[in-house]
Amino acid sequence: MKLDPTIFRYVTREEFRVLQAVEMGMRNHELVPVPLIETIAKVNRGCTYKILQTLLRHKLVGHEGKKYDGYRLTYFGYDFLALRALLARGTIVAVGRRLGVGKESDVHYCQGADGEVLALKLHRLGRVSFRAIKEKRDYLQHRQHASWMYMARLAAMKEFAYMKALKDEGFPVPTPVDQNRHCVIMSFIHAVPLFHLRTLRHPNQVLERLMRLLVRLARAGIVHGDFNEFNLMINKDEKVTLIDFPQIIHLSHENAKDHFDRDVRSICEFFRKRINIDVEQWPTFDEVMAEVAASPEAPVLANAPVVEGLGRREDAVLVAAHEEDRGRREDGEGAGSEGEEDSSSAEEDGATDPEAKENPEGFQPLHAPGEQGPHAGELEAEAEAAGASGDAPAGGEPPAGEGNGGGQPGSDSDDSSSEASDGPGQVNVKSGRRTRHRQTAKEARKNLQKQQKQRPAKANNSKAKELRKAKHEIRDFMC
């Protein structure tokens, strides 16, 4: 599903509270029952049911009612919660068109508070892969309800931590900006994936740079694990930038040698098939390990960056999930890297639209027209709590005065329709169609009280008529 910021702008404060309540309930529930959602969100039953129907219509939550009646958070709803936290922090103010689509992640343009162009990466680990991993691994003994969103959040946390560590050591990687839940904000690289190129001006120099980068990573104490043409960006000057880090492993990992040799083979095969260059000599894992052992200094990344909630077992399962996606990709079952569908997604997301010339990134503000976004102080605790939990998609309990993620006023303003821009589910009056009016709980209670008052009044009127009729009959009889 494609991320639609238009819907985000009109999600109300109460709807965000219910959406976050579903997220919190998924810490220990696969399907969250409505009574638990009411308790967490602190919203009465009638409003909760109405809000859930609205969220369900926008596909922010999913509903299962066959064996167990409950709601679950979708990736679309998880996107909204992460964007709301990033908007509250002032990290981003707008989201643009999609750059790349893959089985593991989606990449979008986004705009920072100062107007700079950034990249928004949304991790989307395959749910099928995660189910297979749950069957093979036993680390989930005390986390029976952990979901695929939990793995996506761990992948984002790991990528942000390693990207920051590599950037500090001078490696050619994007600059990390911020991270929340399964979203990573990084600097935008003005380059194209290596697999887009058919020729190179200096192929031998590019090949040498790539091999040196592989060896440099190993000397630092890590193996990339997915070092191929899909995760290497090259600019006009043929300088290389490395992306995609959730599958990084340490040199002490039992599969480090296999992953290193596979990375080398991937580059050699690409240059042989695409550039017609046969690589006769390449670095080996044993040679690199010998250099590391002979060096008096320890690898700069000998100790993995600290990622809260990501232990050895969790990291092993995360790597295994990426390995399964990679294996399915090599078997021809689908694309697995976010760059593999760049060209098609560019056309799909409006590259041919006439307005693309004026706004090539397709930025759409996260604020409603004429409104201001949520106050950062009100949601900062929520954003911190969302990154602190380690059991499932998590977020702090929404405060009573929580701001609106899209800048839309609270429930008091839901009754009136905007003439300047219609929200989702509404139709412009000028088109001749009726505008759908969403009835609030307050109006529903007034209508119910009015109906209850009218019923006994009608009954009393009929009784009074019968009584008057009987009196007239008695009077006529007596006369």
For range 199-222, the mean pLDDT? 93
| pLDDT score recorded for residue 454 | 64
Residue appearing with tokens 């191929």? 228
Q: What number of other Cβ atoms are within 10 A of residue 444's Cβ?
A: 13
Q: How does residue 20 score in pLDDT terms, banded at 50, 70 and 90?
A: very high
* Sequence-distant (≥ 6) Cβ neighbours of residue 121 within 8 angstroms: 105, 106, 107, 156, 159, 183, 184, 185, 186, 338
Tokens representing 228 are: 């191929």
Q: Is the pLDDT of residue 214 over 60?
A: yes
In the predicted structure, residue 430 carries a pLDDT above the cut 60: no
Q: What stretch(es) of the chain map to CATH 1.10.10.10?
A: 13-82
350: left (phi over 0), alpha (psi -120 to 50) or beta: left
Provide the pLDDT confidence category of residue 307 given band limits of 50, 70 and 90: low
226 is an active site residue: yes
**CB-count exposure of residue 312 (10 Å: 0-12, 13-18, 19+):** exposed
Are 378 and 89 contacting, i.e. CB atoms less than 8 angstroms apart? no
Q: What is the mean pLDDT of the chain?
A: 75
The top-level CATH class assigned to 90-327 is alpha beta
Nearest to residue 60, comparing CAs of 118, 114, 96, 20? 20
Which position has the higher pLDDT, 323 or 169?
169
Of residues 104 and 435, which shows the higher confidence score? Answer: 104
What is the reported pLDDT for 266? 94
Provide mean pLDDT across the span 170-191. 94
Query: CATH for 13-82, among 1.10.10.10, 2.40.50.700, 2.40.30.330, 1.10.3720.10?
Result: 1.10.10.10
* b/e map 132-163, b = 16+ CB within 10 Å: ebbeeeebeeebeebbbbbbbbbbbbbbbbbb
- Of 153, 207, 114, nearest to 388 by C-alpha is 153
- Number of other CB atoms surrounding residue 305 within 10 Å: 18
pTM of the predicted protein model: 0.71
Q: Mean pLDDT throughout 169-182?
A: 94
Percent of the chain surpassing pLDDT 70: 66
- Provide the 8-state DSSP code for 103: S
What's residue 476's pLDDT?
Answer: 80
Cα dist from 94 to 264, 373, 406, 432, whole Å: 39, 11, 11, 32
| Packed helices 148-168 and 127-136: angle between N→C axes, nearest 10 degrees | 100
How far is the C-alpha of 66 from the C-alpha of 84, rounded, in Å?
32
| pLDDT higher than 90, residue 268 | yes
Q: What is the DSSP string of 84-100?
A: HHHHHHTSEEEEEEEEE
Q: Which part of the chain has CATH 3.30.200.20?
A: 90-327
| Span 462-476, average pLDDT | 80
Q: Quick one: average pLDDT of 321-326? A: 64
Catalytic residue among 226, 244, 342, 414: 226
